[in-house]
Structure 1
Amino acid sequence: MELQQVQNNLVIPEEQIITKSPNPFIEANTHEVSLSHLQNDCTIPVFSKDNECTLAHHEFIDAVDSCARTVFSGQRILKPELRVSHVIKGRIPEAIGKPVKELTEQDKTIYYERMMFKIEVPSISETINGNDLSLVIGGVRAYNQENLYSKKNYEKFKVFVGFKNMVCTNLCVSSDGMVEELRATSIEELKSKVLELLGTYEMQNHLNALKQLSEHYLTEKQFARFLGKCRMYNYLPKPEKREIPTLMLNDGQINSIAKGYYEDENFSRQQDGSINLWNVFNLLTEANKSSYIDSFLGRSLNAHELIQKLSFSMQNDSPFWYLN
Structure 2
Amino acid sequence: MELVANYNPIEMIQEVSQVVQKSASNFIGANTIEVSLEHIQNKCIVPVFAKDNEVTISHYGFINSVKEVVESVYSDINVITPSIRASHQIKGRIPSAIGKPVKELLEHEKTIYYERMAFMIEIPNKQVVVNDQILNLTIGGVRAYNQENLFSKKSIEKFKVFIGFKNTVCTNLCIATDGLQSEIRVSSITELKEGVLNLIQGYNQEAHLGVMERMSKFQLSEQEFAHLLGKMRMYHFLSKEERKTKFPLQLTDSQIGIITKNYFTDKNFKRASNKMINLWQVYNLFTEANKSSYIDTNLERNVSAYEFIQMLGFSRENKQNNFFNHIII
TM-score range, shorter chain: over 0.9
For residues 90-101 of structure 1, what are the structure 2 equivalents within 5 Å? Answer: 90-101=92-103
Query: CA offsets per residue over residues 28-63 of structure 1, 9 Å max, x none?
Result: 111111101111111000000110000000000011
Counterpart residue number, 1:42: 44
Tell me if structure 1 keeps the 8 A contact 2:24–2:171.
no
Q: 2:245 is matched with which residue: 236, 243, 251?
A: 243
- Following the alignment from structure 2 to structure 1, what is the Cα–Cα distance between the partners of residues 24 and 76? 30
Percent identity reads: 53
Q: Give the match's secondary structure for 2:274.
A: coil
Q: What is the TM-score when the length of structure 2 is the normalising length?
A: 0.91
Counterpart residue number, 1:265: 267
- Following the alignment from structure 1 to structure 2, what is the Cα–Cα distance between the partners of residues 263 and 203? 31
For residues 5-20 of structure 1, what are the structure 2 equivalents within 5 Å? Answer: none
- Following the alignment from structure 1 to structure 2, what is the Cα–Cα distance between the partners of residues 125 and 106? 43
Q: 1:32 to 1:23 in 2, by over 3 A?
A: closer
Tell me if structure 1 keeps the 8 A contact 2:91–2:110.
yes
Counterpart residue number, 2:277: 275
Counterpart residue number, 2:154: 152
- Deviation, structure 1 residue 320: 2.3
Q: Give the match's secondary structure for 1:181.
A: strand
- Following the alignment from structure 2 to structure 1, what is the Cα–Cα distance between the partners of residues 208 and 259? 23
Counterpart residue number, 2:205: 203
Counterpart residue number, 1:189: 191
Tell me if structure 1 keeps the 8 A contact 2:92–2:111.
yes
Q: 1:210 to 1:22 in 2, by over 3 A?
A: closer
- Deviation, structure 1 residue 98: 1.2
- Deviation, structure 1 residue 235: 0.6
Tell me if structure 2 keeps the 8 A contact 1:88–1:110.
yes
For residues 1-324 of structure 1, what are the structure 2 equivalents within 5 Å? Answer: 24-324=26-326
- Following the alignment from structure 1 to structure 2, what is the Cα–Cα distance between the partners of residues 71 and 319? 44
- Deviation, structure 1 residue 75: 2.3
- Deviation, structure 1 residue 22: 7.8
- Following the alignment from structure 1 to structure 2, what is the Cα–Cα distance between the partners of residues 91 and 75? 42
- Deviation, structure 1 residue 23: 7.2
Structure 1: which 4+ aligned runs deviate by more than 4 Å? none
Query: CA offsets per residue over residues 250-295 of structure 1, 9 Å max, x none?
Result: 1111000001110100000011111000000000000011111111
Kindly provide the amino acid, as one letter, of the partner of residue 265 in structure 1. Answer: K
Tell me if structure 2 keeps the 8 A contact 1:71–1:199.
no
Query: CA offsets per residue over residues 91-129 of structure 1, 9 Å max, x none?
Result: 001011111121111111000001000000011121122
Q: What is the TM-score when the length of structure 1 is the normalising length?
A: 0.92
Query: Where does the alignment leave 5 or more consecutive residues of structure 2 unmatched?
Result: 1-22
If asked which structure has higher relative contact order (CA below 8 Å, sep 6+), I would say: 2
Kindly provide the amino acid, as one letter, of the partner of residue 245 in structure 2. Answer: E
